[in-house]
Amino acid sequence: MDEQTKGKNIFEQALNMVSNRDEKAALAETMKKAAEFEQKAAEMEQKANDLQASLTKAQAELATVKSTLAQTQADLATAKNGLSQAQRELELTRISRTEAENRAAAAEAKLKSELDRQAQAAAAVAAAEAAKPKFMATHTLTATETLSHLSLKYYGSATEPYWRVIYEANKDVIGPNPALVRPGLVLNIPVLPDELKKK
């Protein structure tokens, strides 16, 4: 027997025991109010149960939202880390590219400098070659020959401008005095300069 039925039986027994009509009416009223109270209590209990269920559901949904938020924050942190790593790699790539460009520029400058040096050296060699006197023959002096004899033989004139050309070209062999030539000297006979060539 449930509590509600048991309570009702007690009220019925009390009602049967009361003989006075007013007392019966009062007891009936009390029983009615008690029934209403029990009904309201049951409704309130149902509402409480519904509220508890709603609260439990809301807490579960809140937990899901918190979990989703935590996952989103973790994903965001991972994305930020990935972005930072990508930015670092990009910066390293830029630095490497700059270094490579600098090395290439330095190598290019070094190559240009070397080419310039080689060109200058070649020009110097060409200038030195051009500056060297050109010889038409070599001649071994006899006991009867002088520089005048040689200039007459090779240039057609025995005057000083002509024999001096032979002397200047062989000064290191002849010595400081052009008149002191010795038999057996081997002299180079230079090509006559343009200014002394007869027109």
Cβ partners under 8 Å of residue 130, min gap 6: none
Q: Are residues 97 and 143 in the same domain?
A: no
Q: Are residues 137 and 98 in the same domain?
A: no
Residue 18: pLDDT over 60: no
Structure tokens at 6: 């048991």
Domain-located, residue 32:
yes
Domain boundary among 82, 102, 122: 102
Q: Closest Cα to residue 169, out of 156, 151, 157? A: 151
Domain-located, residue 122:
no
Q: Are residues 22 and 85 in the same domain?
A: yes
Residue-wise pLDDT tens digits, 108-138: 999 899 998 899 888 877 776 666 668 999 9
Range of the domain at 161: 133-196
pLDDT at residue 14, rounded to an integer: 62
Q: Are residues 81 and 174 in the same domain?
A: no
Domain-located, residue 108:
no
Cβ partners under 8 Å of residue 152, min gap 6: 158, 162
**CATH number, residue 166:** 3.10.350
pLDDT at residue 137, rounded to an integer: 94
Domain boundary among 87, 102, 117: 102
Residue 11: pLDDT over 70: no
Domain-located, residue 28:
yes
Helix (H) or strand (E) holding 170: none
Question: Quick one: DSSP state of residue 158?
Answer: -
**Burial 79-105, CB ≥16 within 10 A → b, else e:** eeeeeeeeeeeeeeeeeeeeeeeeeee
Domain-located, residue 76:
yes
Structural domains of the chain, count: 2
